[in-house]
Each structure stands twice: as C-alpha cells, then as structure tokens.
Amino acid sequence: MISLPDIINQKTDFLLQQIKDTEKARDEAATPMESHSDQTRQNAEQLIYALKDEVKKQKILLAKISGYKVITYSVRSHLGLKDYAIVPDGLGGQLVDNTYLLAESTSLAKNLQGKKQGHTFTLNDSPHEIVFLK
C-alpha cells in the first residue's frame, strides 16, 4: 500500500541532506577575498534557498494529505497493464512499488477519477480500459 506521508518524509529527508551537503560545499568554497571570479558560494547560497523553499512546500503538502484516500487503478492500454494511483498535485510523477503516481490535475487522472471497472476512454488516440480498482 502506498503511504503518502512516507513518500513526503523521504523526500524531505533527502532535501535536508542536500541542504547540509550544499552548506558544507559553500563553507569550503573560496571567499570573495580569496577569489573574485569564483561564484561557488553565491551559487550554493541560491541552491540552499531553493531547497529550503521545497522543504516548506513538502510540509504544506503533508498537512494537506491528512485523510486523503489513495485509489489505485489498473489500466490496460497498447503499452500493457499498468497501475496508477491518483495523488494530490505535488506528489505525482513518481513510480512507487510498480505504481505510477498521477497528480490530480493530469489528463489521465481526470479520465480515471470516479470511474468504475470496465470503463473505457481514449487518451492521445490510444484506447484505455480500467481493469481493476484497489
């Protein structure tokens, strides 16, 4: 079973480790007094701010998902049988336990939401059929 809080916590842990590594690289880089052309410190500082911003987004996402029910759809298309789980925007685009996470706003997710087993639809000129719901 897919645990959205675990996915968010893993991503947050990864981001926090990246921040530590980037801070270390920044601290070990040449100072402006040592090298006028080296921009390693400046680039690292920008990356640190961006990573911290992403950590904030993950915390907001974690608060949003309380009570969110993940439904997994097994869909048959010309590419074969694949499992998809519809998740809140910000968590899609990942493969977890052979299940593709689809953000709610994607075309495929919109075609799946609220549909039952046996439903067929066309996406990108390709027929799809919902074979199973979990």
* Residues 8 and 61 sit within 8 Å (Cβ to Cβ): yes
| Predicted confidence band of residue 59 (pLDDT cuts 50, 70, 90) | very high
Q: Which of 64, 91, 115 finishes a domain?
A: 64
Is the confidence at residue 24, as pLDDT, over 80? yes
pTM, rounded to two decimals: 0.74
Q: pLDDT exceeding 70 applies to what percent of the chain?
A: 100
Same-domain status, 32 and 85: no
- Residue range 93-132, pLDDT digits in tens: 999 989 999 999 998 899 899 889 998 888 888 888 899 8
Compare 30 and 26 and report the one with higher pLDDT: 26
- Helices 40-64 + 4-28 axis angle, to 10: 160
Which residue is it, tokens 């640190």?
48
Same-domain status, 86 and 105: yes
Domain count, the chain: 2
Same-domain status, 43 and 85: no
Same-domain status, 48 and 78: no
What residues make up the domain containing 60? 4-64
- What is the pLDDT, as a whole number, of residue 18? 98
Same-domain status, 24 and 44: yes
Same-domain status, 82 and 49: no
Is the confidence at residue 36, as pLDDT, over 80? no
Number of other CB atoms surrounding residue 15 within 10 Å: 18
- What's the longest Cα–Cα distance across the chain? 68
Same-domain status, 11 and 49: yes
From CA 115, how far away is CA 44, in angstroms rounded?
Answer: 47
